[in-house]
Amino acid sequence: MSARTFTIGTRGSLLATRQTEIAIEALSVSDAGSAFDTRTISTAGDRSQQSLTEIGGRGVFVIEIERALLDGEIDLAVHSLKDLPSAETDGLMVAAVLPRDDPRDVLVSRDGLPLAALPSGAAIGTGSPRRAAQLRALRTDIEVRDIRGNVDTRIRKAEEGEYDAVVLAAAGLARLGWLERASQIFEPEEMLPAVGQGALALQVRSDDREALDLVRAVDDRETRVAVTAERGFERRLGGGCHAAIAAYATVGYGPSPERAPLRLRGLVGGKGRLLRGEMESPAGEADALGVRLAEYLIAQGAEALLEATA
């Protein structure tokens, strides 16, 4: 294996730093001969306090990091997969996804109350249209308010009373050792996760053979299959930060990896409606399954809902 020192680009938040540590731990086990440096890169999403829809969507958390990767300033990048647009950037590729952590969403409330016990009119913070649409379906009498900031900032805003509760990703809390602060963990039947939620993506230049070989060695096949289906679903719908799109895939046991059963659930929200669908296929047809489920929901009126949220 390579004895090269690889420079890893990452955002500067507490969670991003921890996620980079997780990636380095995995890479070091796979290739003990390589060394790793980290470079913190400030992104537009980190600098702005505007909502994601106002500043350009999920890509604002990755554009500067991808540019540094393309320019050769870093050798690989660690991303929360849910922050990456579903189409690959020219010249770059997600060479590995690490084993997925808990994909679910959680509620963190000031008084430790679950959603059902919050008072009528309670203010719940989220910057996600997906979460907002599903929260409103669960409780029509709450106030869903936009929120920005890192995980620790959002929790503090709830604890200090600016919000009655906030909704966050379980994986992020778990990586920081804070999962006990959750007042409720939403099952997928209550709140379907974001595409790729809980998975970490390792991105490299597509022409960097050493980095490709290093990173591919830690790719988790089951996670890769699941998120391929989810990203195919999102890509076909053309959704971004404005859209209430959710998808979650699970892989079962089969006679071979390619023929293992793959189950995909998808959701599109808008105009006060939620469209849901579910399909299965062999794992070897993951991307096609995502496209097929998206087209099923399009036939049910999904495009009109997406246009309403654009």
Active site residues: 83
CA separation for the pair 228, 249 (Å, rounded): 9
- How big is the chain, counted in residues? 310
Quick count: other Cβ atoms within 10 Å of Cβ 140?
A: 9
Compute CA distances 31 → 10, 77, 147, 201, whole Å.
20, 17, 40, 18
Q: Which residues are registered as beta bridge partners of 123?
A: 143
Contact between residue 103 and residue 193 where contact means Cβ atoms under 8 Å apart: yes
Of the candidates 242, 277, 269, 254, the residue with the CA atom closest to the CA atom of residue 134: 269
Contact between residue 214 and residue 2 where contact means Cβ atoms under 8 Å apart: yes
CA 29 to chain centre: 25
Q: What are phi and psi of 199, to 5 degrees?
A: -105, 145
CA separation for the pair 80, 225 (Å, rounded): 17
Contact between residue 9 and residue 42 where contact means Cβ atoms under 8 Å apart: no
Contact between residue 68 and residue 39 where contact means Cβ atoms under 8 Å apart: yes
Compute CA distances 128 → 58, 262, 294, whole Å.
10, 27, 20
